[in-house]
Amino acid sequence: MTASDISPAELERARREAAARGLDIAFSQSDMREAYAHHGRPFDLVIACDNSVPHLLSDDDLLAAFREFFKCTRPGGGCIISVRDYEQEERDGVHLKPLGVRIEGEARYCVFQVWEFKGLIYDLSMYFVEDRPGADCVTHVMRTQYYAVTSDKLISLMREAGYRDVRRVDHPYPQPVILGVR
């Protein structure tokens, strides 16, 4: 198994998670728009899940990534992506997305996101309010941007990149899954 990500921090986390599970995975840093140039070989399956492709903020960037994915897919192989169901989201204004409370030892973490739309691009701020015994709390925030791209648009771009039999599968997954075959 081979895995790549543009973020050194995410790669380090993935290495720790793989080690904890005894998995042998070759990790490397790469932009998905340069996947084939980086890996230089085809795979049976290319996977980009958990809303990773909408980090690319234009149709041109998405198409570039899908073309690289296609070159990385063996004939008869497949591509799987999963994304938020943006068709079900209100895509304007500012929205609060509560994610819940997590307890770790004496710390309680209240986790929520704030989405601020500017057209189909939105700023996402993910907050972790760390509440420990005593009067003070500490808030941690991570920020990024996403393109609220629809499944229909992603399917169209995957077809344009060369994939066939591209379709959306909804159940039993928590996010829509889009499948394509080379």
Rounded CA-CA distance 67/94 in Å is 33
Quote the pTM value.
Answer: 0.91
What is the pLDDT, as a whole number, of residue 110? 97
Q: Other C-beta atoms within 10 Å of 178: how many?
A: 22
What's the pLDDT tens digit per position in 7-55? 999 999 999 999 999 999 999 999 999 999 999 999 999 999 999 999 9
Strands 26-29, 2-5: pairing is: parallel
What is the pLDDT, as a whole number, of residue 72? 97
Burial 110-136 (b: 16+ CB within 10 A, else e): beeebbebeebbbebeebbeebeeeee
Average pLDDT over residues 149-178: 96
What's the pLDDT tens digit per position in 41-98? 999 999 999 999 999 999 999 999 999 999 999 999 999 999 999 999 999 999 999 9
pLDDT for 171 beyond 90? no
What is the pLDDT, as a whole number, of residue 156? 98
